[in-house]
A and B are shown apart, each in its own frame.
Chain A
Amino acid sequence: MSALVVRGLVKRFGARTALDGVDLALRAGEIAVVLGPTGAGKTTLLRTIAGLETPDAGSLELHGRDATHEPPAARDVALVFQNFSLYPGKSVRANLEFPLRAPGRNLPAPEIARRIRAAAEKLAITHLLERDARRLSGGEMQRVAIGRAIVRQPKLFLMDEPLTNLDAKLREALRVELAGLVRELGVPMVYVTHDQAEALSMGDSLHVLSAGRILQSGTPREVYLCPASPAVARALGAPPMNEFEARNVNGLWHAADGTELCPAAPGSPARARLGVRAEHVQPTGGPAEAVVELVEDAGHQKLLVVRFAGTRLHLAVPRASSWKPGDVCRPRLAPEHLVVW
């Protein structure tokens, strides 16, 4: 059974359309990541699923029942925000207890204690339980905020860029931990982010959202390797995919300025927009010369920025390679990795 099915969701704020017919489906135990820039509608989507916004059109199914018009409390979903708002002056334990003491929950005290103990252990915050929330580091606060969602044992997690306000290093560690934890709990999750690594690594499915519409849904691999449109290609991957306006002349792709690019597969159209990732361009063996403009250190590899065919082409090369600005290279685009739009 699907944990969540969103169909044709529309949400307007006055003249502005925040969600413009969003479809999203999520099976039990799965993580769906929604990637989009600021203002794409990511937060509105989560708030609508949570019942904090009423959709103008479309429907919402939670675990097989129509929840479109259910009040938020009946949906049994837990939201975690970017700006984790803990109760200052209260202990971590009191912060974790709070959602369990909500009116109507009527949980016995031993059960509350048990849930808090279990969540604290999972998040490695047991030693912080009696500490004042004001005396926590950013990473610790975010763990507590996630803990508050976990103790409720909801049917669905909705997380809105929960790691965005943390230091890059901490984000990297928590990304792995959080995905692992949610999988272990077996609770499905919709996770919203604008971070590339989170988008590619955390989810079973990836959904690229732009201006209130889903541009593409698929596995992270499908979306990375075969972006459905240039807009998707630009949204995913750092550096973004290289793009060319190209003409197919006798089975060879040529850029708009006439530069020969690479062979075209049989049956290719006469004109197309081409996309190729930086790691699928070799600096040697191509048909045309180009000059290296910049060499960027990207840690485990280097990026060459090359003036080529009227654009600035990005190529990934091993970090031991000795390319420097001013060198002449011959970019070779791997035809098997070419995306044709």
Chain B
Amino acid sequence: MKAVRLERVEKTYPDGTRAVRGLDLALEAGEFVVLLGPSGCGKTTTLRMIAGLELPSAGSIHLGAQDVTELRPSQRDVGFVFQFYALYPHMTVRENLAFPLEATGVARAEIERRVAEVARHLGLEELLAQRPRQLAGGDQQRVALGRAMIRRPAVWLMDEPLGTLDADLRLAMCEFLRARQLEERVTTVYVTHDQEEALRLADRVVVMSQGVILQAAPAAEVYDRPADLFVARFVGSPGMNFLAGEARGARVQCGPHGFELGRELPAGKVTLGIRPEALALDAASPLRGRIVVDEYLGSSRCLHVDTPLGRLVARVAPDAPGTRGEEVGLKLTPGELRAFDATSGRLLA
């Protein structure tokens, strides 16, 4: 039995906007699924329907064996954290954290133990006696996350819970969240527009655009074999490079340059995709271009190169040669090329 199951779920707003279209999604018990996509893709609407904060226009939602499609939020065993935290203003941080446990009748000693544990992991120990309005935004957000995670509901629902946190805290919180989820094995649906966060956290990444699921697969697969051009561009920072070409057997011809694909394709127009790290500087390569942007990123650099085939971004080592204005040769790593149908955008090989 699936822990969460959405079947042909639709959401159409009164103004006619179709936020979610015919969505099918099922989660195994203990699975961590991240809904990833740009604003307006329907990810938050989907999450809110699972929470019961929005009713679907059609379709059904099951939590375990129970059909919850028409149930109120309080009748569903879910814990949620939203980007805009809502804490009880009259309670201290300690009382806010303890509240979900007290409401369900957990023993006093157990409550204290769990509050202490969550406070330690989230760095809230110093703040336990304070009230929400005395806290900075990031601290409030951590309290909201702690309050959701202190309880073990059937499902955790999280909407950009790390939204406004600073970078160093984000990573620590990401790792805490993942470690705790692995430990408790609570089925989790997590919404973000940040592809890095999605890759890092998910057992399965669900990429959405315009109300539909484009791909639902483990992070490595979404990254290595994106289902279509949108996923290829959206996942990865920066996303895949694209080259327009013509398939001829196992080769793809892009202007004067031919690339070996290692697999036969039906003849026709294709778009080749290649990750920035699969492009290497190679003085001997016939594919040449001028470096127009040299971005230092600490552990790597991104060189944006204008070539006759369009602008390509290569990720190179921080101390690799190449400076702005220089002409360089680019080599595509064999085996790292993906081919997409030029019309439908779907992955071919």
| Complex-state Cα separation, A172 to B304, whole angstroms | 13
Number of B interface residues in the complex (CB < 8 A): 45
Interface flags for A300-312 (1: CB within 8 Å of B; 0: not) read 1101010000001
Selecting from A64-72, A86-94, A193-201, the interface stretch reads: A193-201
Q: Which residues of B are found within 8 Å of A239, using beta-carbon distances?
A: 171
Q: How far is the CB of A293 from chain B (nearest CB, A)?
A: 8
Interface string of A280-305 (1 = CB under 8 A from B): 00000000000001101111110101
Chain-B contact segment, one of A121-129, A229-237, A328-336: A229-237
Cα A172 to Cα B194 with chains together (Å): 11
Within 8 Å by CB of A300, from B38, B171, B300, lies B300
Q: How far is the CB of A76 from chain B (nearest CB, A)?
A: 29
A298 and B196 in contact, given A176-B293, A200-B297 (Cβ under 8 angstroms): yes
Decide if B219 touches A238 in the complex (CB within 8 Å): no
Q: List CB contacts (< 8 Å) of B278-316 with chain A.
A: 292-293, 295-300, 302, 304, 315
**Would you call the interface of chain B mostly helix, strand, loop, or mixed?**
mixed
Q: A180 CA to B311 CA in the complex, in Å?
A: 15
A316 to B239, CA, bound (A): 20
| CB contact list, A262-281 vs B, under 8 A | 277-279
Chain B nearest Cβ from A146, distance in angstroms: 18
Give bound CA distance, A312 to B235, whole Å.
28
Q: Does B255 contact A (CB under 8 A)?
A: no
B179 at interface, CB cutoff 8 A = yes
Contact (A298, B298) CB under 8 Å given A38-B137, A194-B166, A196-B167: no
Contact in complex: A299, B38 (CB < 8 Å): no
Q: Establish whether residues A299 and B171, one from each chain, have CB atoms under 8 Å apart when the complex forms.
A: no
B35 to chain A, nearest CB (A): 14
Question: Given A294-B175, A294-B178, does the pair A172, B299 have CB atoms closer than 8 Å?
Answer: no
Q: Does A220 contact B (CB under 8 A)?
A: yes
Q: Are A221 and B296 in contact (CB under 8 A)?
A: yes
Q: Flag whether B72 is at the interface (Cβ < 8 A).
A: no
Whether A105 sits at the interface, judged by CB under 8 Å, is no
A237/B298 in contact, CB under 8 A:
yes
Q: Which residue of B lies closest to A240 (CB)?
A: B168
Residues of chain A lying within 8 A (CB to CB) of residue B166: 37-38, 194
In this assembly, does B338 line the interface, its C-beta being within 8 Å of a C-beta of chain A? no
Of A196, A278, A299, which contacts B223 at CB under 8 A?
Answer: A299
Q: Which residues of B contact A323 (CB under 8 A)?
A: none
Contacts of B239 in A (CB 8 A): 169
A300 to B275, Cβ gap below 8 A? yes
Q: Of B136, B277, B299, B304, which contacts A277 at CB under 8 A?
A: B299
CB distance from A304 to the nearest CB of B (A): 12
A221 vs B318: C-alpha distance when bound (angstroms): 9
User: Does B138 lie at the interface of the complex (its beta carbon under 8 Å from any beta carbon of A)?
Assistant: yes
Q: Tell me whether B168 and A168 are in contact (CB under 8 A).
A: no
Closest to B37 in A: A167
- Please classify the interface of chain A as helix (H, G, I), strand (E, B), loop, or mixed, using the class held by over half of its residues: mixed
Query: Which of A38, A221, A294: most chain B CB closer than 10 A?
Result: A38
Chain A 48-83 interface residues, beta-carbon cutoff 8 Å to B: none
Which residues on A sit within 8 Å (CB–CB) of B295?
A: 176, 201
Q: B304 — nearest CB in chain A belongs to which residue?
A: A176
- A297 to B297, Cβ gap below 8 A? no
The answer to whether the Cβ of A39 comes within 8 Å of any Cβ in the partner chain is yes
Asked if A138 lies at the interface with its beta carbon under 8 angstroms from chain B, I say: yes
B298 touches A224 (CB 8 A): yes
Which chain A residues border B167 with CB–CB below 8 Å? 194-196, 238
Asked whether any CB of chain A lies closer than 8 Å to the CB of B69, the reply is: no
B168–A316 CB distance below 8 A: no
Binary CB contact string for chain A from 145 to 181 against chain B (1 if under 8 A, 0 otherwise): 0000000000000000000000111101000100110
Interface: B193 (CB within 8 A): yes
**Minimum Cβ distance to chain A for residue B226 (Å):** 12
Cβ-defined contact, B293 with A197, below 8 A? no
B238 within 8 A of A: yes
Contacts of A277 in B (CB 8 A): 298-299
Contacts of B199 in A (CB 8 A): 296-299
Known: A194-B166, A238-B171, A294-B178. A300 touches B276 (CB 8 A): yes
> Do residues A296 and B200 form an inter-chain contact, with CB atoms below 8 A?
yes
Q: Which residue of A lies closest to B139 (CB)?
A: A38
B130 sits at the interface (CB 8 A): no
Q: With an 8 A cutoff between CB atoms, is B190 at the interface?
A: no
Assess A200 versus B296: contact at CB under 8 Å? Given A167-B38, A172-B237, A294-B179: yes
Instruction: Identify the closest chain B residue to A202 (Cβ).
Output: B295
Q: Which residues of A contact B178 (CB under 8 A)?
A: 294, 296
Cβ < 8 Å to A, chain B residues 301-339: 302, 304, 315, 318
Once the chains bind, are A300 and B195 in contact (CB under 8 Å)? no
Q: Does A39 lie within 8 Å of B136, measured CB to CB?
A: yes
Interchain CB contact (< 8 A) of A201 among B171, B296, B299? B296
Enumerate A34-48 residues with CB–CB distance to B below 8 Å.
37-39
**A-side contacts of B237, CB under 8 Å:** 168, 172, 197, 299
Q: Inside 8 A of B298's CB, which chain A residues have their CB? A: 196, 200, 220, 224, 236-237, 277
Q: 11 other contacts beyond A240-B168, A299-B236, with CB at 8 A cut-off?
A: A38-B164, A168-B196, A169-B234, A195-B167, A197-B297, A201-B297, A238-B167, A294-B178, A297-B200, A298-B200, A319-B223
> Which residues of A approach B to under 8 Å, CB–CB?
37-39, 138, 167-170, 172, 176, 179-180, 194-197, 200-201, 220-221, 224, 234-240, 277-279, 293-294, 296-301, 303, 305, 312, 316, 319
Those 8 A-B pairs whose CB atoms lie nearest each other, nearest first: A201-B295, A297-B219, A37-B166, A297-B199, A279-B299, A300-B277, A224-B298, A296-B200
User: 26 A-B pairs, CB-CB below 8 angstroms?
Assistant: A37-B166, A38-B136, A167-B38, A168-B194, A168-B237, A180-B292, A197-B237, A197-B297, A201-B295, A201-B296, A220-B298, A221-B296, A224-B296, A238-B168, A239-B171, A240-B171, A278-B299, A297-B223, A298-B196, A299-B196, A299-B237, A300-B236, A300-B300, A300-B315, A312-B175, A316-B299
